[in-house]
C-alpha cells in the first residue's frame, strides 16, 4: 500500500514538475556586431531601408541621417551638403531560434557616404570598411557605382 | 502507532477513491475537417499530438486515474483550444501554412509535445529523423517569390506614393484590445536586428526604444528592464531576377512592452499588433495575446524575446 502511495505521489510530482527546453544560445548576436571602436551609434543615423541578396546570401540595412532621409523622401536626386548614409552588410545565417527565418551572421562591410561643401561644390565622399574589424578598404573601382546605387534607394514605408 | 498509520492510509485511500468521481468530461466528437498531409507526416502528428490537439483523444488506463486525470483533462482542454487537428480545414489555407511552421518551431524548441506528457508516454517523443521529415514538408511550402512580381511592385509603389503625400496620417491613436497604444515613434528607435522570414515571404526590422538600446549597451538584457519596448515592422519582399530583395508594401508593426507588474498576466510583456498603414488593431478581444505568448513562450530563458541584439 505504501508503495502504491509513493508511486502515485511520485507520479503526480513528475507530472507537475515543469519542463523547459534546454537550449544554449548566446544572448547577443556576437557574429554580427560592429566593433565598439567604430562608434557607429554616434553617427546619429536612422533606419532607411533593408535588403536581402539571395545570390550572395547577404542582408543589408541602409541607415541615413534625418537630412538625407527627408531628401530621399522628397525624391530629390541633386545632393545637398550634410547628408550621411551608411550601408551595413552581413552574411546571412539561419536563425537558431526559429526555423523559418534568416538573420544577420558575419559582418561583411560598412559603406559610408557623406556629402559636404568644398569650394562651393557639393563633394560626395565614399568610404568602405570590410571584415569583422571593419578595416578600411580603398575601393576606387566601384565607388561611382556604389554612390549611385546608395543614393538611388528609396526609404521603406514606415507610416 | 501502527494503528495510526493504518488509519491514515485508509483515510487517504478513501479520499483517493472518492476523488475518482470528480472527472471533467473529455468528449471525442467526429472530425469533420481533419488535418491533411502526406501519410508519414500525419502519422507523426497522430502519434505525438492528437491526444491533446484533436477530438480523437485516446487515453491509457494510467491517464484515467485522478489526480493524474485532472492534469490530462486540463492539457487536453487547453491543447484543443489552441490547436485542433480535427478542425484543421476550417482554417484559411494561409493560416494552415503558418500553423505548420509554428508546429515545427514548437517541436524543435522542445516545447511540444509537453514534457510532462512524454515522460509518461515515451513513444510520443519526436525523433531527429521525424523532425527532418517535418522540416522538409514545411520547406516544400515555403513562400516562393516570383521575380519582378508586378502585382507586388505596384502595391508597393502605390503605398509609397500615398505615404509620401502623408495620406496615412493617423488622427486618433489606435489601441489594441488589451489596452496597448500604438507608438508612432518606433521608426526613430535603434534597429537591434533584422530578419528574413522565408516561411511567409516577409522581411522585418526589429527596433528597440532608448531603454532597450541602453540595456543592450550595458548588457542588461536578462531580463530586459521595465520600460523596454520592441517594435517589429514587416514588409512584403519584392525580388528582382538577380535575387535582389527590397522591402515592398508595409504589412504591420508589432510591439512588446516590458512591465513586470502591469503585464503580469502575460508573462511581463504587453503585446500589440497594428496592421496596414492605417494601423488597425489586431485581435477580437484581449485574449489575442494567447497566440503571441504561445509562440514566444519557448523563449522563456531569453525573457520571451527571440531577437539576439546586434551591438552597433
**pLDDT at B21 > cutoff 70:** no
Q: Do A157 and B250 touch (CB under 8 A)?
A: yes
- Interface-testing mutation among A97, A112, A150, with chain B (most B C-beta atoms within 10 A): A97
Q: Do B9 and A5 touch (CB under 8 A)?
A: yes
Looking up cell 508586378 gives B150
Residue A17, domain member (yes or no): no
DSSP state at residue B209: -
pLDDT in tens, B25-74: 777 777 778 999 999 999 999 999 999 999 988 888 878 887 778 888 88
Could you tell me the fold of the domain covering B150-302?
A: Chalcone isomerase (3.50.70)
* Mean pLDDT value of segment B242-250: 95
The secondary structure of chain A, three-state, reads CHHHHHHHHHHHHHHHCCCCCCCCCCCCCCCCCCCHHHCHHHHCCEEEEEEEECCCCEEEEEEECHHHHHHHHHCCCCCCCCCEEEEEEEEEEECCCCCCEEEEEEEEEEEEEEEEEECCEEEEEEEEEECCCCEECCCCCCHHHHHHHHHCCCCCCCC
Total number of domains constituting chain A? 1
- Interface-testing mutation among A13, A21, A34, A57, with chain B (most B C-beta atoms within 10 A): A21
Residue A95, domain member (yes or no): yes
User: What pLDDT is stored for residue B166 in this prediction?
Assistant: 85
pLDDT in tens, A17-65: 434 444 446 899 999 999 999 999 999 999 999 999 999 999 999 999 9
Q: Which of B197, B216, B239 has the CB atom closest to A100's CB atom?
A: B197
Q: Do A20 and B300 touch (CB under 8 A)?
A: yes
Residue A70, domain member (yes or no): yes
User: What pLDDT is stored for residue A2 in this prediction?
Assistant: 53
CA quadruple B299, B302, B308, B311: dihedral, nearest 10: 170
Rounded percentage of chain A residues whose pLDDT exceeds 70 = 84
Residue A26, domain member (yes or no): no
CA B224 distance to own-chain centroid: 20
Name the residue ranges covered by the structural domains of chain B. 23-140, 150-302
* Mean pLDDT value of segment B5-21: 77
Buried b (16+ CB within 10 A) or exposed e, A120-150: eeeebebebbbeeebeeeeeeeebeebbeeb
Q: Do B222 and A27 touch (CB under 8 A)?
A: yes
Number of Cβ atoms within 10 Å of the Cβ of B289: 24
User: What pLDDT is stored for residue B168 in this prediction?
Assistant: 87
User: What pLDDT is stored for residue A119 in this prediction?
Assistant: 78
pTM of the model: 0.88
User: What pLDDT is stored for residue B227 in this prediction?
Assistant: 98
Q: What are the chain A neighbours of B67 within 8 Å (beta carbons)?
A: 12
Residue A51, domain member (yes or no): yes
The C-alpha angle with vertex B44 and arms to B41 and B47, in degrees rounded to 5, equals 150
Residue A13, domain member (yes or no): no
Residue A96, domain member (yes or no): yes
pLDDT in tens, A144-154: 999 999 999 99
Residue A16, domain member (yes or no): no
ω before B99 within 30° of 0 (cis)?
no
Amino acid at each position: 500500500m505504501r508503495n502504491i502511495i509513493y508511486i502515485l505521489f511520485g507520479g503526480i510530482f513528475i507530472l507537475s514538475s515543469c519542463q523547459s527546453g534546454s537550449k544554449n544560445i548566446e544572448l547577443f548576436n556576437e557574429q554580427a556586431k560592429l566593433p565598439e571602436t567604430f562608434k557607429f551609434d554616434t553617427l546619429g543615423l536612422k533606419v532607411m531601408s533593408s535588403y536581402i541578396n539571395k545570390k550572395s546570401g547577404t542582408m543589408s540595412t541602409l541607415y541615413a541621417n534625418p537630412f538625407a532621409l527627408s531628401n530621399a523622401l522628397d525624391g530629390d536626386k541633386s545632393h545637398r551638403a550634410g547628408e550621411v548614409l551608411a550601408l551595413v552588410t552581413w552574411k546571412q545565417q539561419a536563425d537558431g531560434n526559429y526555423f523559418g527565418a534568416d538573420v544577420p551572421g558575419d559582418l561583411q562591410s560598412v559603406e559610408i557616404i557623406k556629402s559636404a561643401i568644398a569650394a562651393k561644390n557639393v563633394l560626395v565622399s565614399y568610404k568602405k570598411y570590410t571584415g569583422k574589424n571593419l578595416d578600411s578598404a580603398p575601393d576606387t573601382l566601384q565607388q561611382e557605382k556604389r554612390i549611385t546605387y546608395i543614393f538611388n534607394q528609396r526609404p521603406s514605408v514606415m507610416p | 502507532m501502527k494503528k495510526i498509520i493504518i488509519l491514515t492510509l485508509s483515510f487517504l485511500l478513501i479520499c483517493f477513491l472518492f476523488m475518482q468521481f470528480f472527472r471533467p468530461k473529455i468528449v471525442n466528437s467526429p472530425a469533420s475537417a481533419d488535418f491533411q498531409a502526406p501519410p508519414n507526416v500525419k502519422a507523426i502528428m497522430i502519434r505525438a499530438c492528437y491526444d491533446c490537439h484533436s477530438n480523437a483523444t485516446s487515453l491509457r488506463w494510467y491517464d484515467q486515474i485522478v489526480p493524474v486525470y485532472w492534469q490530462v483533462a486540463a492539457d487536453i482542454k487547453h491543447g484543443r483550444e489552441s490547436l485542433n487537428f480535427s478542425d484543421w480545414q476550417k482554417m484559411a489555407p494561409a493560416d494552415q501554412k503558418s500553423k505548420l511552421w509554428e508546429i515545427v518551431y514548437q517541436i524543435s524548441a522542445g516545447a511540444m509535445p509537453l514534457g510532462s506528457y512524454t515522460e509518461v508516454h515515451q513513444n510520443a517523443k519526436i525523433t531527429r529523423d521525424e523532425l527532418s521529415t517535418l522540416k522538409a514538408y514545411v520547406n516544400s511550402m515555403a513562400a516562393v517569390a516570383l521575380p519582378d512580381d508586378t502585382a507586388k511592385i505596384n502595391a508597393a509603389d502605390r503605398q509609397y506614393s500615398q505615404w509620401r503625400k502623408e495620406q496615412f496620417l493617423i488622427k486618433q491613436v489606435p489601441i489594441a484590445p488589451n489596452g496597448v497604444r500604438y507608438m508612432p515613434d518606433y521608426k526613430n528607435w535603434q534597429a537591434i536586428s533584422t530578419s528574413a522570414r522565408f516561411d511567409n515571404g516577409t522581411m522585418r526590422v526589429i527596433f528597440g526604444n532608448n531603454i532597450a538600446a541602453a540595456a543592450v549597451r550595458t548588457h542588461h538584457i536578462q531580463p530586459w528592464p521595465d520600460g523596454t519596448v520592441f517594435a517589429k515592422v514587416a514588409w512584403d519582399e519584392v525580388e528582382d531576377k538577380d535575387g535582389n530583395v527590397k522591402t515592398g508594401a508595409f504589412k504591420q508593426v508589432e510591439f512588446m512592452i516590458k512591465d513586470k507588474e502591469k503585464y503580469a498576466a502575460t508573462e511581463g510583456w504587453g503585446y500589440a499588433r497594428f496592421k496596414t498603414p492605417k494601423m488597425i488593431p489586431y485581435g477580437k478581444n484581449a485574449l489575442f495575446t494567447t497566440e503571441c505568448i504561445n509562440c514566444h513562450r519557448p523563449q522563456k530563458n531569453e525573457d520571451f524575446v527571440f531577437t539576439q541584439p546586434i551591438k552597433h
